A = this chain, B = another copy of it.
């Protein structure tokens, strides 16, 4: 679907007030006093206008959103959380289609217009999560763009049949090959990464690997990822999510990794957790490394927090990185907008004529204030269609 719309009195990125004409779902022009007889008009009342927020790392398939409060049960380690989730998955309480739709609609009302979601592929749930998210994606294609990572959450080599299920997932519609913690989960980093990069090569797909591993183990895994990126010519096609090892205080460990990542155009997805070491966003950007951000799990068996609000995430990125100046706060917003768009390889993203009209209006004076205050979204527009108003989605949630 595509739409025509005239937005009056908006301030793109906090600049002067203007009107924005949208034709067939794209920004046709910006200027004062535009006229377009017969098409719908929305008066922004001087609101700040930013491009649609990009949720570049989440897990739509397994959120508890809308299922009532569920106390966190898992132990502290990644392996604890995997095991707790496998037990939960076996009970069949989480309907991936319903839950992904609920979380998608929550993200939409907070101004997200594009999502990269990691969807679990394992020996318990098999492809049920993917089937659910594919259904949600089809049902919501007019209001949200969703990219799917086939994510071997429980490991590949130690779980019977998962490598074949990953192949099936890519054939069914997942676009990206996922992976996680090559040392810590499968206990066989070469074997794990050979499957992940083997699939990427055979299917011609990008890669997005969860790397929680810290310190020298994480650095070793990162080296293996970088070696394969170089060997397979996957420059610009690989994202490392979390990349906590890049937050290690040992510069001798971190600097060579950063240099290699910059040279190979390997991107970083951060959730900027406050309790873990994190990659320094400004440092990454100064080296030219693409950085995107995400909510990670929202109210799932991993994590009780989250509202799927990528402006709140921008604030958390800012707080974690000690960003205070306007250019720093704008960088936090950049990773939640254009940074995500570059990692998701979105064509026609932005506020220029010709771009898809994916737009958020909100009550803030400047982009920096939007990050600091993360106020409610006045209007969310997806390819020219008004999809949320005053913080509420306009189509019904499941």
A305 within 8 A of B: yes
Task: State the oligomeric state as a number of copies.
Answer: 2
A275/B372 contact (C-beta < 8 A), A69-B365, A305-B315, A365-B69 known: no
Which of B306, B315, B319, B372 interacts with A372 by CB under 8 Å?
A: B306
Interface residue A274 (Cβ < 8 Å from any Cβ of B): yes
**A316: interface (CB < 8 Å):** yes
Q: Are B324 and A373 in contact (CB under 8 A)?
A: no
Question: Smallest CB-CB separation from A373: which chain B residue?
Answer: B307
Can you list 20 residue pairs at the A/B interface with Cβ under 8 Å?
A: A68-B365, A69-B364, A71-B325, A71-B368, A72-B324, A72-B325, A73-B325, A74-B324, A272-B274, A274-B274, A274-B316, A274-B319, A275-B319, A276-B322, A304-B329, A304-B368, A305-B315, A305-B319, A305-B372, A316-B319
Can you name the residue of chain B whose Cβ is closest to the Cβ of A364? Answer: B69
Most B CB contacts (10 A, CB to CB) among A68, A73, A365, A369 go to A369
Proximity string of chain A (296-317) to chain B, C-beta cutoff 8 Å, 1 when within and 0 when not: 0001000111110000000110
A366 CB within 8 Å of chain B: yes
In angstroms, Cα B275 to Cα A73, docked, is 28
- Across the interface, do A304 and B274 meet the contact criterion of CB distance under 8 Å? no
Query: Considering the chains assembled together, what is the distance between the CA atoms of A71 and B14 in angstroms?
Result: 13
* Residue on B nearest A304 in the bound complex, by CB: B372
The CA-CA distance from A321 to B273 in the complex, in Å, is 10
1/0 contact string of A254-276 vs chain B (CB within 8 Å) = 00000000000000000011111
A318 interface residue, CB < 8 Å from B?
A: yes
A243–chain B nearest beta-carbon distance, Å: 17
CB distance from A187 to the nearest CB of B (A): 25
- Give the residues from 279 to 308 in chain A that come closer than 8 angstroms, CB to CB, to chain B: 299, 303-307
Tell me, in angstroms, the Cα distance from A274 to B276 when the chains sit together.
Answer: 10
- Nearest chain B CB to A74's CB is how many angstroms away? 8
| Closest B residue by C-beta to A302 | B324
A369-B319 contact given A304-B324, A324-B303, A329-B304, CB 8 Å threshold: no
- The answer for the CA separation of A73 and B274 in the assembled complex, in Å, is 25
- The answer to whether the Cβ of A326 comes within 8 Å of any Cβ in the partner chain is yes
The 8 Å CB contact of A274, one of B68, B299, B320, B326, is: B320
Note all chain B residues with C-beta closer than 8 A to A319.
273-275, 305, 316
Are B325 and A369 interface neighbours, CB within 8 A? no
- For residue A129, give the distance in angstroms from its CB to the closest CB of chain B: 22
Known A303-B324, A318-B305: A368·B274 in contact at CB below 8 Å: no
Q: How far does the alpha carbon of A68 sit from the alpha carbon of B318 in the complex, in Å?
A: 20
